[in-house]
Amino acid sequence: MIGKKIYINSEKYMSNDQYLKIIGQLDSIQSSPKLFPFSLDIQNNKIDFVEMEKSHYKQSFFIMSPGKGPGYLKSKSSFSMKFDDIVDIFKEIEFVNNSAIIFNHGFCCGTLLSRLLEESFNVLSLKEPPLLHTLKHHLENNKNDTTIKNTIFCLHNRSFSKKQRVLWKPSDYAFDLIEHTELLNIPSIYLYSPLREYIASCSKEKRDQWIKNRANFEKILNYLEISNIKIDITKTANQAMLYWLYFAKKFTHFSSKSNNLFALNSRDLLNNPSVIAVVGKHLKLNKKINIFEKSKIKKLLNTYAKTDNYVFNKDIRAEQLNKIIKDNQSDIDDAEKIAEEVLKKDIGNFRFDKELI
């Protein structure tokens, strides 16, 4: 039970019944996911929640943020409150893992993998939950802030039943949390695409602006110990290559010391979707009975997973990427040569030392 007055910013717009309902949900917030946090302003001590049932989580199949169109955050209603009150609720709660993680660099079928796992296993799927992104940035300058870290991790560790595990698919922005999740022994995979496919994905349509603004490339050059004199970081191919290498080097570092962390190549997923059984086993997910499993998986493999509104499959994806690769072959070849120098491996047949298959 909450032992003090909780200040809810939207209280004056609520009926008494609505307010009492939220207070009741806050009483069980340590274990129940019916209140989902979709925004956090740590500096201004404000956290925003939405009320969600199982169906709302299922409908939020692309990203757990407000937005128009299919797949964005779906909910009943929202409210905000002081973040300090939430920290106080969780301050005595020790994180006991009930989660699994799909880390990824973006554009590598992470949404598809999450949705395939949902059809075969009993999971509560959180796709790009915004507070993990917020936490990553907070820890950059507050690495030892265990209180806020524990609060946010606990908020993303709640499920609707004891047999249901929570599946996190953080955005690529939140990848650096791997340093902290590894300390908690959370079973995880790193989903990645072959480098030339990733460069092509970042070169597609307006995504060249996405990768251009995605990272501090000078910082990545320092991390990779590469001289920026030899690299034109204004080129999309080199920006994508550096971003991909940053993930590869960091994954290699942490996976070498862990039994929780393995890589999965997106080609293996697309060419052999039955690999989800291996993924589920590694992530320690519980199988569920789903009489529509085969038909649902077939549909997912032939539909654009982020919107569900047009036909898309591995062959269409390969055709699109191969055209972009052909149109940018010289830049891609140059980028791959640099990557080979850094990793000291053949990029054309690149594999990590620790892969699921």
pLDDT of the residue at 296 = 96
| Count of residues making up the chain | 357
Question: Strand runs (DSSP E) across the chain, as ranges?
Answer: 35-41, 46-51, 78-82, 99-104, 123-127, 165-169, 188-192, 261-265
Q: Which pair of tokens denotes residue 298?
A: 């077939």
Burial class (CB in 10 A: 0-12, 13-18, 19+), 230: exposed
What is the rounded distance in angstroms from the CA atom of residue 126 to the CA atom of residue 146? 22
And the tokens for 146? 């265990």
pLDDT at 5: 56
* Predicted pLDDT of residue 8: 82
Rounded to whole angstroms, the Cα distance separating 222 from 215 reads: 13
Task: Give, in degrees to the nearest 5, the angle at Cα 220 between 216 and 224.
Answer: 175
Cα distance between residue 49 and residue 64, in whole Å = 12
CB 146 within 8 A of CB 231: no
Whole-prediction pTM: 0.95
pLDDT of residue 159: 98
Among all chains, which residue has been given the structure tokens 């789903």? 290
pLDDT tens digits along 266-305: 999 999 999 999 999 999 999 999 999 999 999 999 999 9
Is 343:224 a contact under the CB 8 Å cutoff? Answer: no
Cβ atoms 215, 242 nearer than 8 A: yes
Q: What are the pLDDT digits (tens) for 48-105?
A: 999 999 999 999 999 999 998 899 999 988 999 999 999 999 999 999 999 999 999 9
Highest average pLDDT, of 78-82, 131-135, 140-144, comes from 131-135
Q: 286: which DSSP letter?
A: P
What percent of the chain is modeled with pLDDT above 90? 89
pLDDT on residue 85: 95
Q: How far is it, in rounded angstroms, from Cα 302 to Cα 300?
A: 5
What's the CA gap between 199 and 24, in Å, rounded?
49
Q: What pLDDT is stored for residue 14 in this prediction? A: 75
- On whether the CB atoms of residues 198 and 107 are closer than 8 A, the answer is yes
Confidence at 11, pLDDT banded by 50, 70, 90? low
Give percent of the chain with pLDDT exceeding 70.
Answer: 97
Place of tokens 């499993």: 293
Cα–Cα distance measured from residue 181 to residue 255, given in angstroms and rounded to the nearest whole number:
12
In whole numbers, what is the pLDDT of the chain averaged over residues? 94
Q: Which residue has the higher pLDDT, 82 or 10?
A: 82
- Coil, helix or strand for 78? strand
pLDDT of residue 1: 43
List, for residues 181-197, the tens digit of each pLDDT value. 999 999 999 999 999 99
Contact (Cβ atoms closer than 8 angstroms) between residue 221 and residue 231: yes
135 pLDDT above the threshold of 50:
yes
Between the alpha carbon of residue 293 and those of residues 123, 126, 308, the distances in Å are 14, 20, 17
The structure tokens listed for 27 are 């009483």
How far is the C-alpha of 36 from the C-alpha of 282, rounded, in Å?
26
Output the pLDDT for position 251: 98
Q: What is the set of domains in the chain, with CATH numbers?
A: 96-122+161-349 (3.40.50)
pLDDT at 228 over 90: no
Q: What is the pLDDT of residue 4?
A: 54
Residues sharing a CB contact under 8 Å with residue 98, sequence separation 6 or more, in sequence order? 157, 158, 159, 165, 166
- Asked if residues 169 and 156 have their Cβ atoms less than 8 Å apart, the reply is no
Supply the Cα-derived Rg of the chain in whole angstroms: 21
Checking if the pLDDT of 12 tops 70, the result is no
158: its two tokens:
């709640």
Q: Which two tokens stand for residue 153?
A: 């991790």
Give the whole-angstrom CA distance, residue 201 versus residue 285.
30
Tokens of 210: 């996405």
Tens digit of each residue's pLDDT (9 = 90 or more) over 240-262: 999 999 999 999 999 999 999 99
